[in-house]
Chains A and B, each alone.
Chain A
Amino acid sequence: MIQTDIAIIGAGPVGLFAVFEAGLLKMRCHLVDYLPQPGGQLSEIYPKKPIYDIPGFPIIYAQELVDNLLKQAEPFKPTFTLGERVEKLEKRAERDFLLTTHLGTQIQSKVVVIAGGLGCFEPRKPEVNGLERFENGKGINYMILDPEKYYDKTLVIAGGGDSALDWTIFLAGKVKKLTLIHRSENFRGAPESVRKVMELAQNGVIDLKLNSVISEVAGNGHLESVKIKNIKTQEETIIPTENLIPLFGLTPKLGPIAKWGLEIEDNAIKVNTEDYSTNIPGVYAIGDINTYKNKLKLILCGFHEAALMSHSAYKYINPGIKYTMKYTTVNGINPF
Chain B
Amino acid sequence: MSDIKVTVKSDDGEKQHVFPSEMGLSLMECLKAEGYDILATCGGMALCATCHVEILEGYNQLSEPSSDEWAMLDTLPNITPTSRLSCQIKLNENCPDLKIIIRGEGQ
Q: Decide: A189 and B47 in contact? CB cutoff 8 A.
A: no
Q: Decide: B75 and A246 in contact? CB cutoff 8 A.
A: no
Give Cα A228 to B79, complex, Å.
16
Given contacts A188-B70, A251-B39, contact A183 B49 (CB under 8 A): no
The answer to the question of A198 belonging to the interface, with a C-beta cut-off of 8 Å to chain B, is no
The answer to the question of A104 belonging to the interface, with a C-beta cut-off of 8 Å to chain B, is no
The answer to the question of A4 belonging to the interface, with a C-beta cut-off of 8 Å to chain B, is no
Q: Decide: A184 and B79 in contact? CB cutoff 8 A.
A: yes
Give Cα A190 to B74, complex, Å.
11
**Could you say which residues of chain A place their CB within 8 Å of the CB of B74?**
159-161, 182, 184, 187-189
Given contacts A45-B48, A161-B71, A162-B71, contact A125 B41 (CB under 8 A): no
The answer to the question of A150 belonging to the interface, with a C-beta cut-off of 8 Å to chain B, is no
Closest to A48 in B: B47
The answer to the question of B67 belonging to the interface, with a C-beta cut-off of 8 Å to chain A, is yes
Closest to B72 in A: A161
Task: Tell me the count of chain B residues lying within 8 A, CB to CB, of chain A.
Answer: 21
Closest to B78 in A: A127
Q: Decide: A126 and B77 in contact? CB cutoff 8 A.
A: yes
The answer to the question of B22 belonging to the interface, with a C-beta cut-off of 8 Å to chain A, is no
Give Cα A193 to B58, complex, Å.
32
Q: Decide: A252 and B39 in contact? CB cutoff 8 A.
A: yes
The answer to the question of B76 belonging to the interface, with a C-beta cut-off of 8 Å to chain A, is yes
Closest to A161 in B: B75
**Could you say which residues of chain A place their CB within 8 Å of the CB of B56?**
none
Closest to A214 in B: B77
Give Cα A75 to B14, complex, Å.
58
Closest to B79 in A: A183
Q: Decide: A124 and B71 in contact? CB cutoff 8 A.
A: no
**Could you say which residues of chain B place their CB within 8 Å of the CB of A251?**
39, 41, 48, 50, 105
Partner of B45, one of A49, A160, A184: A49
**Could you say which residues of chain A place their CB within 8 Å of the CB of B39?**
118, 251-252
B81 to chain A, nearest CB (A): 9
Q: Decide: A248 and B76 in contact? CB cutoff 8 A.
A: yes
Which residues 156-188 of A have a CB within 8 angstroms of B? 158-164, 182-184, 187-188
Q: Decide: B79 and A124 in contact? CB cutoff 8 A.
A: no
The answer to the question of A267 belonging to the interface, with a C-beta cut-off of 8 Å to chain B, is yes
**Could you say which residues of chain A place their CB within 8 Å of the CB of B78?**
126-127
Give Cα A73 to B79, complex, Å.
41
A266 to chain B, nearest CB (A): 8
Given contacts A46-B45, A49-B45, contact A267 B107 (CB under 8 A): yes
**Could you say which residues of chain B place their CB within 8 Å of the CB of A240?**
none
Of A45, A163, A247, most buried by chain B (CB within 10 Å of CB) is A45
Which residues 39-88 of B have a CB within 8 angstroms of A? 39, 41-42, 45, 47-50, 67, 70-79
Closest to B42 in A: A45
Q: Decide: B67 and A249 in contact? CB cutoff 8 A.
A: no
Chain A interface residues (CB < 8 Å from chain B):
41, 45-46, 49, 118, 124-127, 158-164, 182-184, 187-190, 246-249, 251-252, 254, 267
The 5 closest A-B pairs by CB, nearest first: A161-B75, A188-B70, A160-B74, A126-B77, A189-B71
A sample of 19 cross-chain residue pairs with beta-carbon separation below 8 angstroms, ordered by A number, consists of A41-B41, A45-B47, A118-B41, A125-B77, A126-B78, A160-B74, A160-B75, A163-B75, A183-B77, A183-B79, A184-B79, A188-B67, A188-B71, A189-B71, A189-B74, A190-B71, A249-B76, A251-B50, A254-B107
Chain B interface residues (CB < 8 Å from chain A):
39, 41-42, 45, 47-50, 67, 70-79, 105, 107
